[in-house]
């Protein structure tokens, strides 16, 4: 009897289900009594680089669902929709500054559309035609300078190389391009570096690619990357005598100077990132501004660059984290030995003869600082650069002694993010790691 009751119950539920699925109760049923919407009014057209912003007046129609722009881009029909509660339509992705046509429709809950409103406009010159790119050879690869990205467009920079030719005028069909890398940025101006490349004369090509796959005209450049090695940090040393010639010291034995080369705040080539919040150099509170330390590299080198790593991602772009550094090299006889108490005058003129300026570094915020030098909003690009990518690139056209052979390196802390723009004469300084690169002589 129980089985019969259960079977009857299931049958009844099926009948109810079939009845409830009838068209009369469907929420998505098309109501043919609803008329097509009235056309929208386009009240303003503002050209932008590669597109335009259309300002729209929405018809007073309770059944209106939204507005749609239909246009052709790169041979493909694009449908761009917004809801009825938004009064602007963004049309973008053009690779030229020619006149284009867009049809704008209103559509209702039945997906019925109004008559189109035809809008014609001429976009401003797109970013792939206004952004400038230049290449420069450096130790271990090339440096790409991206500038004039005034609208901070998302850009991909594709780098190709052809080592089979040493003639920049070789016929296009005789070139054998190999894609080296694609680098991305939305910064107004930035230097992007590709390392780990073999030394030797190479033909390079750079092409810009925007968010919609549009490509710029290629730029070909013949360059000769220079050989580069990472210095062996096991040879670095801080002799006791150097404490006499330096004007600052560690705040405690935990935050010693040698932490600057212990590789515990260094991002190795495998892409991992190790951070130990005790493995940093922290200068004693009340250290002079500027403050300096001197390092015996334990090898004679021509430095190409020095990677600068902060205290991991701890309070980025703020506080006692170092913002500005100067690097000096000793080319004098013997070992530097003039104690700080014997130095007179104002930095940078008070070092003994034999010290030469190699390079100066300030964290270059990809999104830019505020006009008064304040940090401002921190973007994803800013954080990535701060933690993983900052380095001081030496340039002998700026500092004539940049590539001189040295063994002793002086690091001068000129500003933290907290002291920048102030008149304070003392500070503390925090820094995670220094990673020098260059050509090792002996």
Digit-coded pLDDT (tens) for 229-250: 899 999 999 999 999 999 999 9
| Contact (Cβ atoms closer than 8 angstroms) between residue 339 and residue 320 | no
Summarize pLDDT for 248-268 with one digit per residue, the tens. 999 999 999 999 998 876 554
Quick one: which of 167, 171, 170 has its CA closest to 202? 167
What's the whole-model pTM score? Answer: 0.61
Asked if residue 31 has pLDDT above 90, the reply is: no
Average pLDDT rounded to a whole number, residues 104-121: 92
Confidence tier at 408 by pLDDT (50, 70, 90): very high
| Contact (Cβ atoms closer than 8 angstroms) between residue 293 and residue 257 | yes
Neighbours of 274 (CB within 10 A): 13
Instruction: Measure the CA–CA gap between 438 and 442, rounded to whole angstroms.
Output: 12
Distance, C-alpha 69 to centroid of its chain: 33
Instruction: Measure the CA–CA gap between 411 and 385, rounded to whole angstroms.
Output: 21
164 membership: H or E segment, kind and range: none
Q: What is the pairing mode between strands 155-162 and 178-185? A: antiparallel
* pLDDT at residue number 246: 96
> For residue 161, which phi and psi values (nearest 5 degrees)?
-140, 150
Summarize pLDDT for 149-195 with one digit per residue, the tens. 988 999 999 999 998 887 888 888 888 999 999 999 988 888 888 88
| Contact (Cβ atoms closer than 8 angstroms) between residue 39 and residue 115 | yes
Average pLDDT rounded to a whole number, residues 354-380: 94
Please state, for a pLDDT cut of 70, what percent of the chain lies above it: 89
| Contact (Cβ atoms closer than 8 angstroms) between residue 213 and residue 74 | yes
Listed in sequence order, the residues at least 6 apart from 403 whose beta carbon sits closer than 8 Å to its beta carbon are: 302, 303, 304, 394, 396
Residue 433 is given by DSSP the state E
Asked if residue 17 has pLDDT above 80, the reply is: no
Asked if residue 276 has pLDDT above 70, the reply is: no
Summarize pLDDT for 430-442 with one digit per residue, the tens. 999 999 999 898 8
Confidence tier at 270 by pLDDT (50, 70, 90): very low
Confidence tier at 369 by pLDDT (50, 70, 90): very high
Please state, for a pLDDT cut of 90, what percent of the chain lies above it: 63
Average pLDDT rounded to a whole number, residues 305-326: 92
Radius of gyration (C-alpha) of the chain in whole angstroms = 32
Instruction: Measure the CA–CA gap between 287 and 251, rounded to whole angstroms.
Output: 10
* pLDDT at residue number 30: 56
* pLDDT at residue number 135: 93
SS3 category, 3: helix
* pLDDT at residue number 250: 94
| Contact (Cβ atoms closer than 8 angstroms) between residue 151 and residue 53 | no
Asked if residue 18 has pLDDT above 50, the reply is: no
* pLDDT at residue number 111: 87
Q: Beta partners for 135?
A: 144
Average pLDDT rounded to a whole number, residues 318-323: 95
Segments of 163-218 assigned E as strands: 178-185, 190-194, 202-209
Summarize pLDDT for 279-296 with one digit per residue, the tens. 899 999 999 999 999 999
Neighbours of 247 (CB within 10 A): 17
Summarize pLDDT for 114-160 with one digit per residue, the tens. 999 999 999 999 999 999 999 988 888 898 999 999 889 999 999 99
Average pLDDT rounded to a whole number, residues 407-432: 96
Q: Which residue has the tokens 């449908």?
A: 79
Confidence tier at 199 by pLDDT (50, 70, 90): confident
Listed in sequence order, the residues at least 6 apart from 198 whose beta carbon sits closer than 8 Å to its beta carbon are: 163, 225
Confidence tier at 6 by pLDDT (50, 70, 90): very low
Average pLDDT rounded to a whole number, residues 408-417: 97
Alpha helices in 57-202 (DSSP H): 127-130
């Amino acid at each position: 009897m129980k089985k019969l009751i259960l079977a009857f119950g299931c049958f009844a539920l099926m009948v109810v289900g079939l009845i409830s699925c009838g068209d009369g109760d469907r929420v998505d049923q098309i109501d043919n009594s609803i008329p097509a919407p009235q056309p929208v009014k386009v009240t303003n057209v503002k050209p932008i680089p590669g597109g335009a912003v259309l300002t729209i007046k929405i018809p007073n129609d309770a059944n209106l669902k939204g507005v749609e722009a239909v246009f052709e881009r790169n041979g493909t029909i694009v449908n761009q929709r917004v809801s009825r509660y938004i009064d602007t339509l963004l049309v973008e992705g053009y690779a030229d500054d020619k006149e284009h046509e867009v049809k704008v429709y209103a559509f209702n809950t039945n997906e019925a559309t109004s008559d189109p409103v035809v809008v014609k406009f001429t976009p401003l010159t797109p970013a792939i035609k206004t952004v400038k790119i230049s290449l420069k050879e450096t130790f271990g690869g090339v440096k790409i300078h991206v500038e004039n990205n005034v609208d901070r467009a998302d850009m991909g920079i594709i780098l190709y190389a052809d080592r089979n030719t040493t003639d920049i005028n070789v016929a296009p069909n005789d070139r054998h391009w190999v894609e080296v890398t694609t680098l991305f940025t939305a910064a107004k101006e930035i230097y992007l570096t590709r390392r780990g490349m073999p030394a030797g004369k190479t033909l390079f090509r750079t092409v810009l690619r925007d968010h919609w796959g549009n490509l710029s005209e290629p730029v070909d450049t013949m360059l000769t990357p220079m050989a580069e090695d990472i210095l062996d940090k096991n040879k670095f040393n801080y002799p006791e005598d150097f404490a006499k010639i330096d004007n600052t010291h560690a705040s405690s034995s935990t935050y010693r100077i040698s932490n600057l080369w212990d590789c515990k705040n260094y991002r190795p080539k495998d892409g991992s990132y190790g951070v130990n919040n005790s493995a940093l150099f922290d200068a004693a509170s009340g250290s002079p501004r500027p403050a300096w330390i001197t390092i015996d590299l334990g090898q004679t080198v021509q430095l190409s660059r020095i990677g600068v790593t902060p205290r991991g991602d701890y309070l980025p772009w703020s506080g006692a984290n170092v913002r500005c550094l100067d690097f000096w090299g000793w080319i004098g006889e013997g070992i530097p030995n003039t104690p700080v108490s014997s130095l007179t005058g104002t930095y940078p003129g008070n070092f003994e003869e034999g010290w030469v300026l190699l390079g100066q570094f300030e964290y270059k915020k990809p999104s830019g600082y505020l006009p008064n030098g304040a940090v401002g909003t921190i973007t994803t690009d800013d954080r990535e650069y701060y933690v993983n990518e900052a380095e001081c690139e030496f340039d002998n056209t700026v500092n004539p002694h940049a590539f001189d052979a040295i063994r002793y390196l002086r690091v001068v802390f000129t500003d933290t993010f907290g002291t920048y723009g102030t008149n304070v004469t003392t500070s503390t300084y925090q820094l995670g790691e220094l990673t020098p690169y260059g050509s090792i002589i002996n």
